[in-house]
């Protein structure tokens, strides 16, 4: 069973979103065409500035092949290499939350390559929808104190991956905790004792009904000085609607774009009253 092929079929079965009038179509068409037609090598430059004049815009990346899948009847075990470490991830085909999605790959690559823009060293980080734990593992290798959260049915596989990939490393081992968006936040994550420098989320926005709860959770966890880093593959018009809603709550900056996989990386900061 090829889990990635089936996911790709699901995604490409939907019509592309028309972004002609969207404020989030940030890149000149000519630059996107150049990126798609260029014959890149595996060891080519890691990222590219999408603004050839000012250098102030988001950066365009080519997704690097950092994994070699090894499939079995029940689990996919995939091997990655980020931040100088080989990371082996066990995926469960029984739960969408236990699969490595494109946004996670993109964000790991971005965090590894641009530690001046986003430094996680000694930062308190919470990941929403941590899934397989790949992003949390990479963030901890980069020096963060990480709390990886997800639904109860995902936690066993999440804990397994984190334990396997952090054992023996001189890093802050991520803490794994249950977090259902919008539920028991005051009780499980009281603001007086649970303050985070960075909130991380990848591919948490897709065609589901919990977007209001996700927004409420992000709003609850963000305090003055907190940074939100969100990477997502944009598949549906609802993804852009969520981005618009998020931009009404936070100051949003697009950091990067991965045109081949249609993944965008954003940074959000709390608006001061």
Tens of pLDDT, residue by residue over 239-262, are 999 999 999 999 999 999 999 999
CA distance 46 to 121: 22
Q: What is the pLDDT of residue 65?
A: 59
Hey, which of 2-16, 85-99, 138-152, 194-208 has the most confident mean pLDDT? 138-152
Note whether 31 and 100 are within 8 A (CB). Answer: no
Tens of pLDDT, residue by residue over 56-113, are 678 887 777 554 444 433 345 788 999 999 999 998 766 666 789 999 999 999 999 8
| Model confidence pTM above 0.85 | no
> What are the b/e assignments for 9-36, b being 16+ CB within 10 Å?
eeeeeeeebeeeeeebeebeeebeeebe
CA distance 75 to 164: 15
pLDDT at 52 over 90: no
Terminal-to-terminal C-alpha distance of the chain: 52
Note whether 243 and 254 are within 8 A (CB). Answer: no
Q: What is the pLDDT of residue 59?
A: 81
Nearest to 255 by CA among 111, 102, 130, 80: 111
Q: What is the pLDDT of residue 43?
A: 33
Beta bridge pairs of residue 49: 59
More confident residue, 24 or 189: 189
pLDDT at 234 over 90: yes
Q: What is the pLDDT of residue 271?
A: 82
pLDDT at 213 over 50: yes
Please, what sign has the CA dihedral across residues 152, 157, 163, 166? negative
Tens of pLDDT, residue by residue over 29-51, are 222 222 332 333 333 333 333 33
pLDDT at 221 over 50: yes
């Amino acid at each position: 069973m090829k889990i990635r092929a089936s996911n790709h079929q699901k995604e490409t079965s939907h019509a592309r979103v028309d972004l002609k009038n969207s404020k989030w179509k940030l890149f000149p068409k000519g630059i996107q065409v150049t990126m798609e037609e260029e014959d890149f090598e595996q060891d080519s430059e890691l990222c590219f500035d999408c603004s050839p004049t000012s250098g102030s815009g988001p950066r365009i990346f080519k997704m690097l092949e950092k994994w070699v899948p090894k499939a079995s009847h029940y689990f996919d075990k995939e091997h990655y290499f980020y931040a100088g470490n080989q990371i082996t991830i066990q995926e469960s085909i029984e739960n969408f939350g236990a699969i490595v999605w494109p946004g996670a790959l993109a964000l790991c690559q971005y965090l590894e390559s641009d530690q001046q823009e986003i430094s996680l060293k000694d930062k308190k980080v919470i990941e929403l929808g941590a899934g397989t734990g790949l992003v949390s593992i990479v963030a901890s290798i980069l020096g963060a104190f990480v709390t990886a959260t997800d639904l109860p049915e995902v936690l066993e596989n999440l804990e397994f991956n984190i334990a396997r990939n952090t054992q023996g490393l001189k890093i802050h081992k991520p803490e794994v905790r249950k977090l259902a968006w919008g539920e028991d936040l005051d009780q499980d994550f009281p603001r007086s004792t649970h303050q985070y420098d960075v909130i991380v989320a990848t591919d948490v926005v897709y065609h589901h009904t919990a977007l209001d709860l996700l927004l409420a959770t992000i709003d609850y966890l963000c305090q003055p000085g907190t940074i939100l880093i969100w990477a997502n593959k944009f598949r549906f018009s609802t993804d852009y609607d969520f981005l618009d809603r998020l931009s009404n709550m936070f100051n949003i900056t697009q950091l990067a774009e991965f045109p081949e996989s249609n993944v965008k990386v954003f940074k959000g900061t709390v608006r001061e009253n």
